[in-house]
Amino acid sequence: MEKNKLYKLGILGIIILLLIIYAYPRNDFFKAKKTTLELNGDEFYFSDGTPKKPIKNTGNLNIVFIVLDTVRPDHLSAYGYERETSPNIDELAKEGTLFTNAFTVIPYTTSSHISMMTSLYPFVYQPRMPGAQPTGVAILEDNHLTLAEILRGNGYNTAAFISVSMMSPASGLNDGFEVYNYSQGVRRGNETTKVALEWLEQNYDEKFFLWVHLYDPHDPYNPPEPFDELFQDYELRYDNISLSDFTAMKQAIANYDEDIRFGDSHVGLLLDKIKELGIDNNTLIVFTSDHGEQFGEHLVPIYQGMGPQVVFEHARTLYDQEIKVALIIKSPGIPKNKKVDGLVENIDIMPTILEVLNIPLNKNAQGVSMLPLIKNEEETRSFIFSHLYPIISPYYKSTIRTKDYKLIYDHYNKENQLFDLKKDPQEQINIYTIMSDVAEEYERKMIELIQHYTITTDINIPTLESEAEQQLIALGYNI
C-alpha cells in the first residue's frame, strides 16, 4: 500500500515538473529563447524542432517594421527626388504620415537597429572608454529590454527576417524574437522577402510583430537585372559634384538609385501581401532606413587601409547625408498623406509603437512618442542628437542639430564645426569660430544631454574649454 502511494506521488511529481518546463519559456519573455527559422515543406519549426505555438489575434494591431538599409530620404521620390526610385514607398506615404526631419542616433547599421529596438543611445548600451579603438562589433547586452521582448510579453508572435550577418544573434538583436531568420553574409531582398512572406501567410491570423530588414541599397551598389539599367542617364546629371572623376561617381549614384528601386519592389510585395490577406486595416506599418550615405558632398580623411579619400560611404561623418533618414508610419488613427516637419530621432519609433498599442513604455527608454507631433503637431523635440561612435570607425564625434544650427563636436581632435542650416543647408561653411557664442550654447546642450543619459554609465565625457569646461568641473567630472 505504501509503495503504491509513493508510486503515485512520483508520477504526480513528474507531471508537475513537465508542466513547469513547458510553461517557463512561454512566461519568461525577458530571457526570450534565441531561435532561428527553418523551412520544412509548408510548416515552420523552431531550431530546436518544436512547432510554433499559435497566439490567436484578439483584435490588437499587428506591427510590421520594414527597414531599407542605407537609404537617404532625398533619394526617394516620396521625398521629392526627381528619379522614380520608390513607387511603392510613395504609395505608403500617401496612406500614412511622412517625417521630413527624421534622424538616426548613429550612422552604423547594427548600432542604429539596436537603438531603434531599445530606444537607447549607443553610448548607453555599449559604453566606450577614452581612446578606445574600434572593434567593428556592436553588441546589445541582455540587461536591456527590446521592443520584441515587450511585445512578446504582451502576447505577440514575434519574427524577424534579416539580410546581413552583422546582425546575427551575436549582436543581441534577436532578444524577444520567437523566430530570428538571418543570413550568413549578405542576401538579396528577394531571398529575405520570400521567407518573410511565407511566415506571414501562416501567421497573419495571429497578433504579430514582423521585422523585415532589406540590405540592398548598401554598397557596393550592385542592382540585379532588370533594375541595373533603369537610371543610366547619369552623364546628364550631377554636374555639381566636386570630384575629379565625375563619371565614376555618377555611375555609383545611378547604381545606388537602382538598388533603392529594387528594394522598393520588395517593400511593395510585403505591402501587397498585407492587403491581400485582409489585415491592412488592422496593421501598423513603420518604414524607415537605418542611416544614409554620402556621395562626395564631404571628403573624409583617409580611413585606415582604404587608400583614397572616402567619397561615398557612411559611419564616418555626422553630416545630414549620413544621419538623416526616411520615416513613414501608417496605422488606423494616423493621418493619411501628411508630412510632419518636426525633429524626431529613430529612438522615438519604439515609444510611438507602444503608445499606439497602449502598452506602457519601460522607464529606461530614452526616446519620446511621436503621436503628439503626428496628431496635434506639438513639437516633441527642440533638437536632435546623434553620435559617431568608435565601433566601426576610429572617429568619436557628437552632433546637436536644431532647424537653425548644427554643431559637430570632435571628442578626440577638437576639429569642431558649426553650420547655419538656414543659409548653408549643405553644411559647407564652418562658422564655429565666427559664431562662438552659438557654438558654446550648443556645446552646453550636448554636455547636458550626455550627462543626463549617462548617470550610471562610465563614458568619455567631452573636454570643453571656458564656461562649458567649468560647468563640467562643477558637475564633478575630472577633465
Tell whether the model's pLDDT for residue 100 goes beyond 90. yes
Nearest to 318 by CA among 349, 297, 339: 297
What is the rounded average pLDDT of the residues 105-114?
Answer: 94
Tell whether the model's pLDDT for residue 125 goes beyond 90. no
What's the pLDDT at 471? 41
Biggest CA-to-CA distance, the chain: 97
CA–CA dist 409, 417 (Å, integer):
7
- The pLDDT tens digits of the residues spanning 49-93 come to 444 333 344 458 999 999 999 999 999 999 999 999 999 999 999
Q: Measure Cα distances from 433 to 63, 141, 145, 440 in Å.
A: 47, 41, 42, 10
CA–CA dist 288, 209 (Å, integer):
16
CA–CA dist 390, 397 (Å, integer):
9
What is the pTM assigned to this prediction?
A: 0.81
CA–CA dist 324, 315 (Å, integer):
13
**Nearest-5° Cα angle at 44, 43 to 49:** 110
Share of residues in the chain with pLDDT > 70 (%):
73
What's the pLDDT at 422? 97
CA–CA dist 151, 63 (Å, integer):
10
Query: Do the strands 397-401 and 384-388 form a parallel or antiparallel pair, or are they unpaired?
Result: antiparallel
The three three-digit cell numbers of residue 277, written as one number: 490577406
Tell whether the model's pLDDT for residue 380 goes beyond 60. yes
- The pLDDT tens digits of the residues spanning 266-320 come to 999 999 999 999 999 999 999 999 999 988 777 665 444 444 444 566 667 899 9
The three three-digit cell numbers of residue 351, written as one number: 515609444
Question: What would the DSSP string read from start to end of 273-314?
Answer: HHHHTT-GGGEEEEEE-S---EEEEEEE---TT--SPEEEES
The three three-digit cell numbers of residue 262, written as one number: 529594387
Reported confidence tier of residue 260, pLDDT bands at 50, 70, 90? very high
- Using left for φ > 0, alpha for ψ between -120 and 50, and beta otherwise, residue 27 falls in alpha
70-87 CB burial, b ≥16 within 10 A, e <16: bbbbebbbbbebebebbe
Q: What share of the chain is helix, strand, coil (3-state, %, to 5)?
A: 35, 20, 45
Q: Check if the beta carbon of residue 97 is closer than 8 Å to that of residue 339.
A: yes
Tell whether the model's pLDDT for residue 477 goes beyond 70. no
Least confident of 119-123, 148-152, 328-332, 392-396: 392-396
Half-sphere exposure of 475 (CA within 13 A, CB side): 19
CA–CA dist 47, 39 (Å, integer):
10
- The pLDDT tens digits of the residues spanning 431-473 come to 999 999 999 999 998 888 888 776 444 444 444 444 444 443 3
CA–CA dist 131, 319 (Å, integer):
23
Nearest to 393 by CA among 326, 303, 469: 303
